[in-house]
Structures are given as structure tokens and as C-alpha cells.
Amino acid sequence: MFVNAAVTSTGQREFRDDADAQRLSVGFLHEYVLGNYRELYAATLALDVNDFNAALIVRHLLESSRDLTPRVRRREGELIARRLELMAPQRVYKLFRELARRGVNNRRTRAIMRDWTAQRRDPVFDAVKYRTGVKATVRHAHLDVPDETGAFLFTATRKVPVFTTGLFETWRQAHYSATALYDLPYTVAEGLASKHGIKRAQFLEKIAPRLTRLERLRLQGAGERAGAGAVKAEPAVMPLTRLASYVLSLPHATRVARHDELHGALSTAAHRVAGESAGSWGRVVAVLDDSFSSFGSTAKRQRPLAVALACHYLLRALAADFTGLWTSGAHDPLFVRPSGPTPLGERLLDALELAPERLVVVSDGWDNSPPGLAAEVLRVWRERLDPEAATTVVHLNPVYDAEGFDVKRLSASVPTVGVRDAEDVPALVELARFAEGRAGFDELHRYLADRQDRFRSRKEAV
């Protein structure tokens, strides 16, 4: 239950729950698991939980570390250090600012802040791009920084006539010269461009060479509306689920015109994820939810549908023989859109008729056309028609249900696991046996211990 929540919930509005309900629900789960199963709580940092929940786990562990044995403290410290390395830097700085705001200032917390900051490859760049976070971290952990970095962070610009560090000096000049701001990171330059009154189209055109791949993806639509042709995303190098989100953001006419390019990019990204496992899953049928609720929310626009689209391509790469069945009856996955009810029961009948070795359902679990048919189909299939489980059935759910403290399940006879990114599907299918209840608590301990060992060994390899 907790892993499902930590994979899917981001504390944002979903189709059926507002942000407050999401945060209250997942917050309760964090406190309960921390209080009753601390070792397992820390171990989830080695799983594919999202950054929102990883930051909560780290914060809770650091807030409550007084009575730990040296062995447990060391193990938790290794897990925390490795997880922080994998998180986006802006999220780590946000976590550090929250620790400072809450007055968490024990020796272990300061050491973790110090070690993470010390391994940053370009501290000058961090100081400019994440100035507020770096400033809070340095102050809270009492970190030593070069004199000029300290002057940049804590002294008003007008009191420093010139910096000898190039990026600091560019930042200072950009407050007075519009041309200097184009040598700054996009997120820093954007605010200064507004100060100088630079038109959006002109700014995006000139800042384009400085954009990261994700910034290009996020800004392509804004660039097109502003007439900045230089801001273009690169589908061929995008991660699979982000690429699926990008494809769904395109107008239908654009998807038609670029069909072969987008299909090829999604297929390539899926094969990168599948790796050596490509073609090893045998005969696979997927039931994929593109009903109206797959729109998600304004905070997570079309996220459930993007996960389903990415899963379509990944399962296609993993399978020797693949069939994808969309709830709407769509035949081309590039043209799916959130619409209509959720006839999961009917699609499950179609899927089981094909006698697959693996049946994977990607849906938020709200079967409503008619309600309850999917659960009954799966019950009869498992009890009467396939009691030996010749067909493996797994339900992947990308949406956290705040009221149920879990992702919504289709049937008690089928394991359900939460999914955030399609890239995590192979590991999540492995976790499904615990959700099904066929593996005991001791086996879960062994599995998590193995994942922790592999997680920490990757850190040592780096």
C-alpha cells in the first residue's frame, strides 16, 4: 500500500481528489509506516518512488534519528545519500530549505547537506541557478564557501563593484545590460528579461542555445505561440514517458503530419528501456485506459494517458507478440485522447479470448461501463477458467486514491501496483507478487534488502 502511494501520489490534484486530500492521505501513510516499520520505510528509498515522496521519507528520517543504533544510522545515511544523488537538484534544495524551516539541525542532517553540496560538479552554477536554496543550505549547515561565493550569496549586488568569477560577474552585469542575460541559465535569465522589458519571442529566440532538453520540451508550445522557431524539442533523445506526454500535447493535425517520426521516437525510447529483455515476455496483451478520467487534472494534464501510451510502446518492445486494446477501441495509439466511459470489463473479455501469457491492465481502476464487470470477469477467469494461473494478470495504476490510501484495485484476485513512469514497469511487475499476497513478510524483507544492496552498489560504482 505504501509503495503504491509513494510511486503515484505527488500531493497534486487528481481527477477525483483535490491537492489537500492527496497531501493529507499520503501524509498519514508516511507517519504510520515510519512509526511502525521504520526499517522498511527507509528501504523504500531504494525503490522507484517519486521525488515528492522520496523527499518526505528523507525529511522524516532526519527528523527522528535520535535513538538509532550506529548500524541503522549508517544504513539510512547511505540510502539517503544515494537517493539525493538521483533527485533533481532543485528538489534537493527545496528539501534542505524545508529542513531549515523546521529547525532540523542535528549532526547527521548537517553532514548530509555538507556531503551532497561537496559533490556538486559546478557549485558556481548552482549558486546562480538555485541561489535561494544554496543560500539557505550554507546558512543552515554552517558550510564553508569561497569568499566570493559568500559575497554573491549574502551581499547586495550594488556593494560588489566587480566579481572575478565569470558567471557571478555575468549575473551582476545582467542587472544593467540586457545582452549579458543570454549567458545565464534560462530560469535566471527569464526574470531579468522581464525586468528589461524584452519581448517574449525575442528572449526565447536568443536564449534557445542555453536551454536544456527538458526546458526545450516544456517551452516548445510557448515558443511556437510567440513565434520563436529556435525552441524545438528533440523527440529522439527524450525519456519514454516524457516523450509520451509531449506527443499527447501536440494537436491532432501535428500528430498526423509527424506520425512516422513520433512512432519511431517512441519505439526507440521503448527499446532503450527494454534493453536485453526486449522480446522476452512472450505473448502479451495490454488493456489500456483512454477514458475521460485519463485526462488527470490541470496540475497533471493527461498524465494517466501518457503513462498508458508509454506502456503500450514498452510492452510492445518487451513482448514477442503484442496486442494493445484501448478502452475507446482506438487502433492507432498516437491518436488516443481522453474521452468516454471506462468499459474495462468488455476489453478484458476481448483480451482473455486471445489467451495471452501476460495480461497487463493500465488504468485508474474506475470501471464504470457497467460498474463491476471487470472485477467479475477477473474473478470468474481466475476461479473457474484459469485456476493454475497460466495467464499472469497485473494491474498497473497511475493514480493514487486518497480516500482508499492506495491505488484503486480492479479485483482481489489480481495484483495491483502503482506506476509513475512506464520505465519502472519491469521492476513493478516484480513487485506485484507482494501486492497479490502470495509472498510473505520475510520474503519482502529479503527482496528489499537485495534492492538496497544493489541501490548502494550503484553508488559505489559511480
**φ, ψ at 338 (rounded to 5°):** -70, 115
pLDDT band at 460 (very low <50, low <70, confident <90, very high): very low
- Report whether pLDDT(439) > 80: no
Q: Which domains are present in the chain?
A: 2-210 (no CATH), 241-461 (3.40.50)
Bond prior to 70 in cis (omega within 30° of 0): no
Q: Residue 410: enclosing H or E segment and its boundaries?
A: none
d(CA 289, CA 105): 46
How many CB atoms lie under 10 A from the CB of residue 455? 19
| Share above pLDDT 90 across residues of the chain, in percent, rounded to a whole number | 58
- Report whether pLDDT(54) > 90: yes
| Share above pLDDT 70 across residues of the chain, in percent, rounded to a whole number | 93
Residue 123 makes CB contacts below 8 A (sequence gap 6+) with 117, 134, 145, 149
Bond prior to 341 in cis (omega within 30° of 0): no
Four-CA torsion 263, 213, 81, 419, nearest 10 degrees: -30
Burial 118-141 (b: 16+ CB within 10 A, else e): eeeeeebebbbbbeebbbbbbebb
pTM reported for the whole predicted model: 0.84
3-class secondary-structure state, position 321: strand
Give the least confident one: 263-272, 330-339, 362-371. Answer: 362-371
- Report whether pLDDT(42) > 50: yes
Sign of CA dihedral 348, 255, 278, 407: negative
Cell numbers linked to 139: 546558512
Four-CA torsion 58, 60, 63, 65, nearest 10 degrees: -80
d(CA 115, CA 300): 34
Using alpha carbons only, give the angle 308, 293, 341 rounded to the nearest 5 degrees.
100
Which residue has better confidence, 118 or 177? 118
- Report whether pLDDT(266) > 90: yes
The answer to whether the CB of 139 falls within 8 A of the CB of 100 is: yes
- Report whether pLDDT(437) > 70: no
Q: What average pLDDT score do residues 259-273 get?
A: 95
- Report whether pLDDT(211) > 70: yes
Q: Which of 29-38, 145-154, 383-392 has the highest mean pLDDT?
A: 29-38
407 - beta bridge partners? 400
Using alpha carbons only, give the angle 35, 36, 38 rounded to the nearest 5 degrees.
75
Which residue type is seen at 227?
G
d(CA 96, CA 108): 13
d(CA 90, CA 56): 15
Residue 258 DSSP class: T
Averaged pLDDT score across all residues of the chain = 88
d(CA 332, CA 317): 16
d(CA 231, CA 222): 9
Which residue type is seen at 69?
T
**φ, ψ at 130 (rounded to 5°):** -120, 45
- Report whether pLDDT(289) > 60: yes
Q: What average pLDDT score do residues 308-318 get?
A: 97
3-class secondary-structure state, position 288: strand
d(CA 410, CA 431): 17
For residue 116, give the nearest of 146, 95, 102, 101 by alpha carbon.
95
Which residue type is seen at 112?
I
- Report whether pLDDT(246) > 70: yes
d(CA 244, CA 248): 6
In the block, cell 471506462 appears at 342
pLDDT score for 282? 93
355 φ/ψ sector (left φ>0, alpha ψ -120 to 50, else beta): left
3-class secondary-structure state, position 395: strand
For residue 62, give the nearest of 40, 51, 84, 77 by alpha carbon.
77
437 φ/ψ sector (left φ>0, alpha ψ -120 to 50, else beta): left
The answer to whether the CB of 383 falls within 8 A of the CB of 419 is: no
